[in-house]
Amino acid sequence: MRDVAIIGVGLTKCGEIWEKSLRDLYVEAALGAIKDSGVDHVDSMYVGCMSSGLFVGQEHLGALMADYLGQCPIPATRVESACASGGTAMRMGALDVASGQSDVVLVGGVEKMTDVGGDEATYALATAADQEWEGFNGATFPGLYAMMAIAHMHQYGTTSEQLAAVAVKNHDNGSRNPNAQFPAKISVDAVLNSVMVADPLHILDCSPITDGAAAVILCPADRAKELTKKTPIRILGVGHASDSIALHSRKNLAVLDGVARAADLAYTAAGKGPKDIDVCEVHDCFTIAEIMATEALGFFEQGKGGPGVEAGETSPGGRIPVNPSGGLKSKGHPVGATGVAQVIEIVEQLRGEAGERQVKNARVGMTQNMGGTGASSVVHILEAM
């Protein structure tokens, strides 16, 4: 198997993008990645997307995007793994290059979520849960993550103030991201006094509904410096795992076993451990998700993620900076694009191109992207070449 490098990135602004369609967003990101890389052709492409059929009535995205991008007849594949669709598409693209099947691969993710009303968007997102046991009985994702938060609070003493500290940190980071959907800074009091969605989660504990797209160009690592003038970023390790989709089937609601398994696989493949990671993007669809993810990734002992964020350990100047992009919470969460957008943030950090968000001396970075309540999880470890 060949080593794989990222040589180009492209990202749209995140938000309510009324003037552009699903295909427009994907093509904008894809063209940005192609231009950034400097390549003159693409051998194959992958499209991460969770639920375009429910959001905009469009399926068969592989062929659609290849056509609209002017890339027919290359092979083009749509990848779905709920909110981990983008991260899973990254893994599939990397495997395509590593196997020798393709030399230049375009991996993109896209979602157009604001063309439907709130009820329809909630229904579409709920399809990532267990429909027979959770969705049918009225459980939505705020409700499911609220149960996880309550379990974490009961077992470890995690507080609402610690949850709020995640949102405050990520909005502060997002205030320096020109592509962020909600770049405004907020306070702990603002979070605690915002509308309660599902106790203990307030509206400011929740990521937004977002339109957006992200794309990267992959190639064999030994050809990277031949193809691009920018600093190539090597994919050191990838981990992919699953867990019970329904919460009631899990041993412990306060632990993300699938994330921990994916992280272990990625660490082993990369020959790295938690202490080697300089910067990380995690899947903070809700504030409790970031706390639980940082524990599953090994940055904190189980139950210590809340005190860690409160103490500033995950802030830009802390021991392990988490979500310098603003995360899903501030940057936005176009679900099919999120896993690819996380990779782009780490690429820019490792290139030294993150501007005001730049983490000092960042050489090794990680992304953690998950679907549903952690039923699928993908972890990538990246290093500047």
Bridge partner list, 14: none
Cβ-contact 352, 358 below 8 angstroms = yes
Q: What pLDDT score does 109 carry?
A: 98
Token readout for 292 is 């639980």
Q: What pLDDT score does 27 carry?
A: 98
202 is catalytic: no
For residues 84 and 157, membership in a common domain is answered with no
Q: What pLDDT score does 371 carry?
A: 98
Domain boundaries, position 82: 4-117+209-233
For residues 104 and 228, membership in a common domain is answered with yes
Token readout for 352 is 């030294």
Spell out where 182-322 has E strands: 196-198, 201-202, 211-220, 233-242, 279-281
Residue 326 located in a structural domain: yes
For residues 227 and 293, membership in a common domain is answered with no
Residue 82 located in a structural domain: yes
Residue 33 located in a structural domain: yes
Distances in whole angstroms, Cα of residue 141 to Cα of each of 45, 133, 178 = 31, 13, 28
For residues 18 and 157, membership in a common domain is answered with no
Q: For the chain, how many structural domains are there in total? A: 2
Cβ-contact 55, 116 below 8 angstroms = yes
Cβ-contact 215, 29 below 8 angstroms = yes
- Residues in the chain, pLDDT under 70: none
For residues 36 and 149, membership in a common domain is answered with no
Cβ-contact 106, 8 below 8 angstroms = no
Angle between helices 61-68 and 22-37 in degrees, nearest 10: 60
User: Which one is catalytic: 14, 49, 83, 285?
Assistant: 83
Q: What pLDDT score does 138 carry?
A: 92
Token readout for 239 is 């981990």
Q: What pLDDT score does 262 carry?
A: 98
Q: What pLDDT score does 128 carry?
A: 95
Q: What pLDDT score does 33 carry?
A: 98
Q: What pLDDT score does 192 carry?
A: 98
For residues 213 and 77, membership in a common domain is answered with yes
For residues 194 and 68, membership in a common domain is answered with no
Residue 135 located in a structural domain: no
Residue 338 located in a structural domain: yes
User: Which one is catalytic: 171, 202, 333, 380?
Assistant: 333
For residues 181 and 324, membership in a common domain is answered with yes
For residues 147 and 296, membership in a common domain is answered with yes
One-letter-per-residue 3-state SS of 101-139: CCCCEEEEEEEECCCCCHHHHHHHHHCCCCHHHHHCCCC
For residues 26 and 70, membership in a common domain is answered with yes
For residues 148 and 293, membership in a common domain is answered with yes
Q: What pLDDT score does 63 carry?
A: 98
Residue 153 located in a structural domain: yes
Nearest Cα residue to 385 out of 241, 155, 227 = 227
Tell me how many degrees the CA angle 224-229-234 measures, rounded to the nearest 5: 35
**What does the alpha-carbon distance between residue 219 and residue 363 come to, in Å, rounded to a whole number?**
20
240 is catalytic: no
For residues 216 and 290, membership in a common domain is answered with no
- 3-class SS of residue 377: strand
Q: What pLDDT score does 69 carry?
A: 98
